[in-house]
Amino acid sequence: MLRFITKSKWGADPCVSLQFYRSYIRSILDYGCVLYDSATNTHLKILDRIQFKALRIRVGAVRSSPCPAILAEYNESPLDVRRKYLAHKLLIKYRSSNTLLTGKISVASVNDRCHPYWRHKRSPLFVTAFTDTSKFQ
């Protein structure tokens, strides 16, 4: 669909195609990102490739153009940075409303530091965001 919108002779304005990317494609990639951050690195790289392919189509860049340059050109952040940002934003929202979920994340944070199961695994994104935002209280 993005290829159709960004045709060179009669396609949409670059600002419109960037807005389409942000509202349609990036929103799909962001949906549930806090939960799927614990997926394997190979699955996360597949999502990164989808993001880069969509941005290349939007820009009209060749396949060999470097991904960090395309991200910098259009002021987009990589998906791993965006996942961390969204997790922190969501956790701050939960902390401000004093929901029961904050207490459960606190318990998960303690388990993450103490339980032997988590010694060789990556910490869940909510737990990492919880420990990061705990410093500011």
* Three-class SS state of 40: coil
Q: What is the pLDDT along the chain (137 residues), one digit of tens a residue?
A: 556 566 556 666 667 778 888 888 899 999 988 888 888 899 999 999 999 988 887 777 788 888 888 888 888 899 999 999 999 898 888 888 877 777 778 888 888 778 887 777 888 888 888 888 877 76
Instruction: Look up the pTM and report it.
Output: 0.79
**The two three-digit tokens of residue 11, written as one number:** 């396609």
- Nearest C-alpha neighbor of 55 from the set 70, 43, 69: 70
In degrees and rounded to multiples of 5, residue 77 shows phi and psi of -100, 150
- Nearest C-alpha neighbor of 53 from the set 43, 44, 63: 63
In degrees and rounded to multiples of 5, residue 10 shows phi and psi of -130, 15
